[in-house]
Amino acid sequence: MISVNETGFLPSAVKLAISDSPGSFRLIDDTEGKPIDIGVAVIDSGFDETAGCEVYRLDFSGVSAPGIYHLESDDGICSAAFKVEPHVYKTLKNSLLKSFYFQRCGCGLQEEYAGCYKRPRCHINPVRILGSEKTLTVHGGWHDAGDYGRYASAGAVTVAHMLYAYELFPEAFTDRVNIPESGNGLPDILNECRYELDFLSELQDEDGGVHHKVTTLQFCGFVMPEADLAEQVMFPVTSMSTADFAAVMCIASRVYAGYDPDFARNCIHQAYLAGQWLLQNPENTDFHNPEGCNTGEYTDDSDIDERMWAYAELLRTDTDTMPEERHHINPMSSQSDSRQDSYLANLSAGLELYLKEHDHSDGRSEDDGFGWQDVSCLAAAAVIFDPENHAGEELRNKMSDMLLERANAFVSMQEDGYPVSMKKQDFVWGSNMVVSNRADILILASIALRKKAEKTGEDIRALTLDIELYEEAALNQMHYILGMNAMNISYVTGFGENAFKDPHNRVTIADDIERPIPGMVSGGSCIQLLDEEIKKIADDSTPAQKCYFDHHLSYSTNEIAIYWNSSFLFVTAYFDR
């Protein structure tokens, strides 16, 4: 087997593949149908515990001419075909973004935009507040994953990935992806995020608290969303969802200010209300499903990192967003300056306190600070990339140290075997999220170093080696998801000869269309063996990378989720900017 990124490579990038057997290898130009005179070097070999075999790294970085190629061994084993071209990730990036349109709730998907995946409106009935007979109309948002639930923290983190990407490299989002709003003057990434932000806004109470989720009490069967007619319920307010909401609304207020000032003002107003709720409710209100409910919990026994992120964004945005209109957007502006100063002091003190309490030394393998359960690196991004440095130099340095510490750890993980920053214990439910989150952190580290050079006047050449090291490590994470893995499979529907085809996604199962919606990321290998389907082909002795089954009943290895897509969108956008 020769596994390779089945989408392809940038012309100037390091180009690697993995073989599970030794030998001689050559590069074949598929257009000409013959080998090309560029060497393929076996640069390393060793036993990879996560793959359960000896692996050999193949380097063919000498090829830079645009074309379609594959690798071939002297005994006739061939890799999948791949491209080399300057914008090799553009179509992938746009498909990852377009996938959110297919997850929209509450609207019909028209053939003009959805093609064969068109469908009527869904989940349009009023929503009942849990524990009462009161109902509300709650519009829109994205179906979270393979189910039809809508979850505040999951949605907020997903939008944050997308908005941070737009803030940091807006040049990556100039294409239209054919959604109903295309051509309205906003980049399509902001059009798509707006659809979720409007839904999240409806989850906030008058006192600022934000409800945890809107779902049915039980997961429905494998039916189309318009056939899911069970009662939808709004679950209680939690500190986790309120903090995540506060943070993402701050980001939105900045990003949309130049496009829709009224919407931006409302975002910051809601963010401040959520921030005040957090200051007035310092205890973690961890969520657990009530009896009779089995939809996603998104439970978290600590909200320290969520509060840290919220306070970092509130502190940054307080004077950064439309200062000339501050009296319109700041709910405390009618109070005395001393009260306002006290509010800011509380945010600053809270941020410092939560940074001290957050234990970042263990690397938290669950998602490493860029996912829904640990958002500490989202907090770091808020502080590090704040042009006005509202948090102060000391906190910025601490956040930078945390980010770079993790990035360095991820680089060192790629020294042996498959060049992917994953240990055996990291292959949990949604392991591909861990892979892409770590790529995101490596990318943030490279951006942080560039910005440091710009600010301090330090010679960028002195930092180039580290920047290139981080970027190459991030690309290796991408290569893993796109086919350079022990399953020899691309974990994105529609991309690669060996792309997975049978996701745990109710629409894909119920729509009677053979091809799955393109641009959706699989959860990937999971050593926890949480469903009966994966147990049919794997057990505790199965190597971590091989605990995967491309079957819709294997929910623990083959579900899709919005925050897996958004994390990988961040990666592909950076390398296609």
Catalytically annotated residues: 147, 504, 550, 559
Query: What are phi and psi for residue 375, nearest 5 degrees?
Result: -110, 25
Nearest Cα neighbor of 321 from 253, 247, 388 is 253
Q: Helices 460-481 and 431-456 sit at what angle, rounded to 10 degrees?
A: 170
Query: What are phi and psi for residue 406, nearest 5 degrees?
Result: -70, -40
First to last CA, the chain: 33
Quote the tokens at residue 398: 């601490």
Q: Which residues have CB under 8 Å from 149's CB, separation 6+?
A: 143, 213, 214, 215, 216, 295, 296
Angle (nearest 5°) at CA 550 between 547 and 555: 75
- One-letter amino acid at 432 equals N
Angle (nearest 5°) at CA 162 between 161 and 166: 120
* Helix, strand, coil in percent for the chain, rounding step 5: 45, 10, 45
**C-alpha span between 138 and 232 (Å, rounded):** 10
Whether the Cβ atoms of residue 57 and residue 97 lie closer than 8 Å to each other: no
DSSP character for 81?
A: P
DSSP character for 115?
A: G
Residue 82 CA to its chain's centroid (Å): 24
Instruction: Output the DSSP codes for 296-325.
Output: -----S--HHHHHHHHHHHHHHHHHS-GGG
- The helix (H) or strand (E) run that includes residue 519 is none
Instruction: Output the DSSP codes for 428-454.
Output: -TTHHHHHHHHHHHHHHHHHHHHHHHH
**C-alpha span between 564 and 99 (Å, rounded):** 11
Dihedral angle over CA of 247, 435, 149, 233, nearest 10: -50
Q: How far are the Cα atoms of 255, 256, 259, 265, 302 from residue 322, in angstroms, in the given order? A: 11, 11, 12, 8, 33
- Local structure of 154: helix, strand or coil: helix
**C-alpha span between 370 and 381 (Å, rounded):** 10
For tokens 């974990």, what's the residue?
491
Nearest Cα neighbor of 148 from 559, 564, 570, 565 is 559
Query: What are phi and psi for residue 427, nearest 5 degrees?
Result: -85, 70
Whether the Cβ atoms of residue 396 and residue 412 lie closer than 8 Å to each other: no
